[in-house]
Chains A and B, each alone.
Chain A
Amino acid sequence: MKQAQRSLAVIVLALAIVATASRAQSALGFKVVVHPSNPLSELSHAELSRLFLKKTTRWNHGGTVAPVDLAPDHKSRRRFSEEIHRKEVRRVQSYWQRLIFSGRATPPPELDRESQVLEFVADNRRAIGYVSATTAVGDGVKVIKVTD
């Protein structure tokens, strides 16, 4: 009986953690998606920012990271920029201008629609993207957790 109570407690605790994590993910206002073959299950805010700013360009498990952005005026792009990069979109655009014209890097492709982002990530094993938290993502991509 005690074992059953313990198991129940563990399950309740696990559900609570999942619910909390889920709320945290939802609170971000977007979901971060990778290719299903990507072994990654979570990334921190800082790691995510570095990947999308191309400060980190290789996955730990190998291969070049291929981030994909939404268009600058997309609501999810604005939220992603402010919550992950802690900058307004225009400052991120200015950051890319500096890298482009000094010959250091080029920005990720910018897609107009979230469905295009999901398609890009589903077709590219190295890709990482984001869509609105309310967007249904399907089986073609994997949602990863974003930690503090």
Chain B
Amino acid sequence: MTKITSLASALGFVASLAVTPAFGLDLKSDVAIHGFGGWAVGDTDGNKYLGGASNRGFDARSFALNIAAQPTDQLSVHAQAFWGTPTGNPEVLVSELDFAFAQWKFSDAANLRAGIVKTPFGIYTELFEVGTVRPFFDLPQGMYGPSEVIAKGYFGVGFTGRTGSVDGWELQYDIYGGEIELDSLAAANPLLFSAGPEPAAGGEGGEGGEGEAPTRKLVDMLGGRLNLSTPLPGLRFGFSAFTGVPEVEGGGGAGMGDSPKSQTVIGAHLEYLSDKWAVRAEAAQRDGGVGDMNIDASYLEVSYYLTEAWQLAARYDQADLEVREEPERVPLPSFTEHEDIALGVNYWFSPGFVMKASIHWVSGNLFAIPGRNPKILRKMPLDSDTTLFQVGFQFSF
């Protein structure tokens, strides 16, 4: 937190230069303030999933403020603060610094970035909470849920840039290194390692994710992404990857060994955007890391504008978990699977304000969590199917 506070202070100082005309440098005064947010309520037929739970409507809400300043032609600073309820955990209100970094532009092909930077991975990672750039209220959970596949931001240094267009082909790249924090799967799903059929030696079983740190840190991390735009307008595809060493602070936690293996995540994505259609598909695999887990996740998302305002959307999203390291308890089979088939209808008042309604049919308990005491979970029939109905609005400015 000290590191973040110091960084934010430093960036705030640099940003303040942009609005201080008598500083003695040839400073511009380009400061842009933007923001986004949303609210949703959801209801399920049993398990807790995204912003919904049985017989009661959660309030999933969020707001973020974004500031960008450009003190000089080469130097820009960017920061974004977020307040809201994390996806899948609407009871908790969090505030966090999404990113705070400085960028030095050498040319369009080479920009140096340093600080807390949104992770360039796949299609949506840099736009994690921004609802007006996607057709569903929430992102597909297999890839973007607390599955330890993606990380919202990294702390370190990166290069980014793009080439000029050659016969309609254009390359955009990112390379980065430093530290990265991933939302802990075991913390997000407290029943994951407590729902096994057989207790580990030493007891009746604990409270699962209780005591789990909400995030896991990878150090000595290196990553990169390539985006290739094609001559067909709106069609692009790309590849992403990062690898790092899990930081172990005193051991402990479900499935945590003494010296966890390096964690590597690789992914591929494809996106086609036209005035009416948006088609997105991604696949990613997480391998190694704490618990030596393997997660395969993928999704296909299609949306179509019937008119300028009405939009229909459909999505198939899936993930499979394999825990190779012997955990204290083996997860029940349904806790290693996730499949979400979703249909949605949206009404866009403007590109910055949308009402969304969706229905999700979910199989598996990897992200759809039974709301019951983990101590009795294995003694009772488990409901591995969940239906969620969700309605809400999202905005940006």
Contacts and interface: CB of A to CB of B under 8 A. Distances in A.
Interface of A: 46, 50, 55-58, 64, 86-88, 90-91, 93-94, 97-98, 100-104, 106
A97 B66 contact: no
B236 to A, nearest CB: 12
Interface string B349-368: 01110000000000000000
A103 B133 contact: no
Contacts of B165: 46, 50
Given A57-B105, A90-B351, A100-B32, 16 more contacts: A50-B165, A55-B162, A58-B108, A87-B275, A97-B127, A98-B126, A101-B80, A101-B127, A102-B127, A103-B66, A103-B80, A103-B118, A103-B126, A104-B160, A106-B34, A106-B70
Interface string B98-115: 010101010110000000
B133 A97 contact: yes
A104 B108 CA distance: 12
A58 B161 CA distance: 14
Interface of B: 30, 32, 34, 36, 64, 66, 68, 70, 73, 78, 80, 99, 101, 103, 105, 107-108, 117-118, 126-127, 130, 132-133, 160, 162, 164-165, 170, 233, 273, 275, 308, 348, 350-352, 396
Contact of A97 (B70, B107, B132): B132
A55 B366 CA distance: 40
Secondary structure of the A contact surface, majority rule: mixed
Contacts of A88: 275
Contact of A101 (B126, B275, B348, B351): B126
Given A55-B108, A101-B130, A103-B101, A90 B308 contact: yes
Given A88-B275, A90-B351, A100 B66 contact: yes
